Chains A and B, each alone.
Chain A
Amino acid sequence: MRQFIKHRGIAAPLLEPNIDTDIIIPSREMKRVSKEGLGEGAFANRRYTLPGGRDPNPDFVLNQAAYKDASIILAGANFGCGSSREHAVWALTDLGIRAVIAPGFGHIFYNNCFSSGLLPLILGAAEIAEIAAATESDPQRRQVEIDLENCEVAVGDKRFSFTIEAANRDMLLNGLDRIGQTLLLADEITAFESADRARRGWAYID
């Protein structure tokens, strides 16, 4: 999995609350039995003028020259709520997004991020507004720097500390594969299963 250690990039504001995974990628954009190439469908209902079309909507933040090549999204509360579709994460990473900074996330989306090297970073709404204010005069030059080792976000001379679960941070810093990590515990899982069968035999289908 792709590592995340430090990242400096252009931050685009999408500050309304409850940006759900249907907005991040509408169902009809999930066209193939694949995790690849979904960036084109990211935010399709807002990014393009017509449903299913590809003409850019100039009002959408990521279509504006000031936010060209943005790799960080500054978001509102409950970002990624709704459907469990992991395509939302795959669409964002394919679009070049490395981190989303929000006051809170839908829990399935949050968890999905770590499987694809996308950093879901939690800061208070006021701090996110400060970052947005600090970048808006010239987003291309006033870039945001995220340091996951030190759990710090910097823009200009402002610094913000954040917290993240140690295991999730490790996963991103080291680019770990979660399944491989768990398979190291195969003996413990088998032992649990044997003991559990004695307690809850009815729960098993043979």
Chain B
Amino acid sequence: MTRSLFDKLWQSHLVQSLDSERDLLYVDRIFLHERTGSIALKSLAATGRPVQRPQQAFCTMDHIVDTFPGRGDSTIMPSGSEFITATRDACRDAGIHLFDLGDSKQGIAHVVAAEQGICLPGLSQVCPDSHTCTLGGIGALAWGIGSTDAEHALATKTLAVKKPRSMRVIFDGVTAPGVTAKDMILHLIGKYGADGGAGYAIEFAGSGIAALDIEARMTLCNMGVEFSAFTVFIAVDERTIEYAKSRPLAPKGAALAAAIADWQQLHSEPDAQFDKTLTIDCRDIRPTVTWGTNPRQSLATGERIPYPQSLPEEQQAAAIKALSYMDLQAGTPIGEVTIDAAFIGSCTNARLSDLRAAAAILKGRKVATGVAAVAVPASGQVKLAAEAEGLHTIFEAAGFEWREPGCSMCFYAGGETFGEGKRVISSTNRNFEGRQGPKVKTHIASPETVAASAIAGRIISANDLAELT
């Protein structure tokens, strides 16, 4: 057999081919959230079509909820509570389990899905959120959809999908100390573009991937959508199985043994074929940060912001526009760019390992004067685990706010922002115009770089900070 991981994941969910382009795929898990889940459930109920297998659908509150300590249903965003209560009502009516406010398991959809074992290796999962591909990190076939497709999945247990082409990206070799999964994905997008993965389902493979722990693999896969991939995933290995089998909703007993036997097959056969293969030498990757308004526009910390005319012609107009929005001068060393705020949070980089890494840098240090700093654990379980280790006291002693779980300032949906036009170093996934609020200038980086920059008050890596102090 020469099947790739993609072939295996796809074929195991194939109900039937609909025509020469589209396949009908079985959807094992559907995850909803209060911003679009409420609309999907309300709209579906209006058609009179029931939710099939509601026990395989789940919902959380993450997008709009406030993250302040002591929060309730009311939000900074006007009308946010309408989304929250509508979601609560719709989930109750449909019989869908909701990770509600006040539940210690509440958190960001993709983080909760993995943490609870709702999503497992080899399962198909959809969610009306583009970062659903995060779950490819545990060998699942997971992708983001719109609200109407969420209705489709709820009502039919399937989706009609155009089969993507297959790509393998090999991360070869070992990264240098201080280089993280976030830097790996920013490097890939920087090299091949924000639409470099368009039309493809992508397997991340190679020794650089095998070396990553499961949470780092989820960080890498999370930004597959920033590469415009249909979805991304990583083969199952012993680390994946160790992670998956201990989740609260993992199968038990004989079912677990059967599951593990299936999971052990979730890798590409040695002679599997791909429509395209890219290779990244991990030794080329350095701590990376974005300077512009799309994720391709990045550089290694320590470098200078590029002159638009030094870029390929088709990127120049976008670079000029991005420099203007970001209020940056070409040629400036990124290390001289001062920041107003630092944010550690999101489904990309707010798991326990991320908080530990940031805390290791913050310990015994203080955030630079004038820099606002906020840390938002991705889930209630992450928050509890971090607090059990005392990480919250390190964050707070350094000058970070320590918040309740949610998407928070990854975007402006909750209505919270660091302020108009502020410059933010952020462990999130998108540096789009206005993403974190009106005119806010977002620089994306790893939690380590965010922590180091918060201390320095300017954009530097943890390695650079270590040399300074």
User: Residues of A at under 8 Å CB distance from B?
Assistant: 16-18, 20, 22-23, 26-28, 30-35, 45, 51-52, 77-78, 81-86, 89, 104, 106-109, 111-112, 115-116, 165-167, 178-179, 181-183, 185-186, 188-189, 192-193, 196, 199-206
CB nearest to A22 among chain B residues: B432
Instruction: For A166, list chain B residues within 8 Å (CB).
Output: 19-21
Known: A18-B294, A167-B160. A202 touches B146 (CB 8 A): no
Contacts of B77 in A (CB 8 A): 28
Question: Assuming A18-B194, A33-B83, is B160 touching A178 (CB within 8 A)?
Answer: yes
- Which one, B24, B198, B314, contacts A104 given CB within 8 A? B198
B83 near A111: Cβ-Cβ < 8 Å? no
A196 and B26 contact, Cβ closer than 8 Å, known pairs A32-B79, A178-B152, A202-B262? yes
A78 adjacent to B195 (CB under 8 Å): yes
Q: Is the CB of A192 within 8 A of B318?
A: no
CA distance A62 to B362 in the complex (A): 47
List B residues 305-336 near A (Cβ within 8 Å): 314, 317-318, 321
Q: In the complex the two chains form, is A165's CB within 8 Å of B438's CB? A: no
Chain B 23-49: CB-based contact to A (< 8 A → 1; otherwise 0): 010101000000110110011000101
Determine if A16 and B318 form an interchain contact, defined as CB atoms under 8 angstroms apart. Answer: yes
Determine whether the beta carbon of A201 is less than 8 Å from that of B258: yes
**Which residue in chain B gives the minimum CB-CB distance to A107?**
B230
Give the shortest distance, in Å, between A104 (CB) and chain B (any CB). Answer: 6
Residue ranges of B at the interface with A (Cβ–Cβ < 8 Å): 12, 15-16, 18-22, 24, 26, 28, 35-36, 38-39, 42-43, 47, 49, 55-56, 77-79, 82-83, 86, 120, 122-123, 128-130, 144-149, 151-152, 155-158, 160, 162, 194-195, 198-199, 225, 228, 230, 249, 251, 255-256, 258-259, 262, 294, 314, 317-318, 321, 411-413, 415, 420, 430, 432-435, 437-439
- A-B contacts, 21 listed (Cβ < 8 Å): A18-B194, A20-B430, A22-B433, A22-B434, A23-B434, A26-B412, A28-B77, A45-B433, A78-B195, A82-B430, A84-B36, A85-B35, A111-B146, A165-B21, A165-B22, A182-B24, A182-B158, A185-B156, A186-B156, A202-B259, A203-B120
- Are the CB atoms of B129 and A84 closer together than 8 Å? yes
Question: Please, which residue of chain A has its CB at the minimum distance from the CB of B421?
Answer: A51
A202 close to B230 (CB less than 8 A): no
| Contact status B49-A35, CB under 8 Å | no
Chain A: minimal CB distance from B278 (Å):
18
